[in-house]
Amino acid sequence: MQGPVLVTGAGGFLGRHLVLELLQRGHSVRALVRPGRAPASFPLPPLSSLGVDVRMGDLCEPASLFGLAQGCAAIIHAAARAEVNPARNPAVWAVNDGGTETILRLARQAGVQRFVYVGTANVFGFGSRLQPGDETRPYAGQRYGLDYMDSKRAATNRVLQAVAEWQLPAVLVHPTFMLGPGDAKPTSNALLLELYRGKLPGYPPGGKNYVHVRDVAVATVNALSMGRIGESYILGNKNLSYREAFALMARQMGVRPPVWPVPAPLARLYGAACDVQARLTGHPARLNASMVAVAGDGHYFNVHKARTELGLPQTELEKAISEAFHWFKAHHYV
């Protein structure tokens, strides 16, 4: 593959792992980073120090992206706003859907050899532990009223439309809940910090699929040369109830897990109260009713397709948790 690989969202948790994986394989990398993404206190070295061609730009300001994709052999579009609180947020749509439309047009103009879109497993229907959801299940997230899920489904549709109408050589990957080191913001790994600090008094009735962030990076980079055009691949590993997941996380961090189940009616009442608080104060509360509804369901997925066609690794979840926790300790988060 001649020419650099453009990575959008390169300053994020997954984005940095993608950059490192690409560099390790000998690719040259061009990284799109949002201005002001890394404050002086950011505990990771700047991407430029790794030999990356860093470009500053904003997906919501197309003029700032002029010439971004020119000369690039491929694009990995990983930039997104994964915010769920508040549940409704126009800025989430602007980045996740509008930003994807902008990058798709740049990809078409540049004539890239491969476009890899990073979505989320939430754009598919989930299933039970015995019959987990897969890439064939229709979207079920509309029930939650979350702009994050709805916007990612819309962006997925945009990519599929570009494949059909422009013959864009795109492959779509959809991670589940990612854990691992280097989550500087932090994002998904904030769950570990809350558990460690004793801020989770109980566990909700649902569950989800978890995966090591490095496994996601490997499979995503593999999609530059593997996988079928126009196909989607769920990138995950282990399905666990929240009770099981919290116990595993607590064991790896040497703390006590939450022992009390949170009854669904009580959780819904708390979520509704949080929504009232947010309306009265004008600021998001700790949770919202949509987040509570998600936690009440089992978001379980089958990842056989990605393992078979993208070579998705399956690192033990214990390793992901341990690496994340030790990274947090090394950088004084705990």
DSSP string, 16-83: HHHHHHHHHTT--EEEEE-TT-S-TT-SS--GGGGT-EEEE--TT-GGGGTTSSTT-SEEEE------
Cα distance between residue 151 and residue 139, in whole Å: 12
- Which residues have CB under 8 Å from 127's CB, separation 6+? 133, 134, 137, 298, 300, 301, 302
Tens-digit pLDDT profile for residues 47-101? 999 999 999 999 999 999 999 999 999 999 999 999 999 999 999 999 999 999 9
User: pLDDT tens for residues 268-315?
Assistant: 999 999 999 999 999 999 999 999 999 999 999 999 999 999 999 999
Model's pTM, two decimal places? 0.96
Q: Which residue has the tokens 């979207």?
A: 139
pLDDT of residue 38 exceeding 60: no
Domains defined along the chain, listed by start: 5-184+209-238+300-316 (3.40.50.720)
Residue 261 phi/psi, 5° resolution?
Answer: -70, 140
Output the pLDDT for position 63: 95
Residue at token pair 């690039």: 72
DSSP E strands in the chain: the ranges are 5-8, 29-33, 53-56, 74-77, 114-118, 170-175, 177-179, 202-203, 207-212, 232-235, 238-241, 260-261, 298-299
pLDDT tens digits for range 135-162: 999 999 999 999 999 999 999 999 999 9
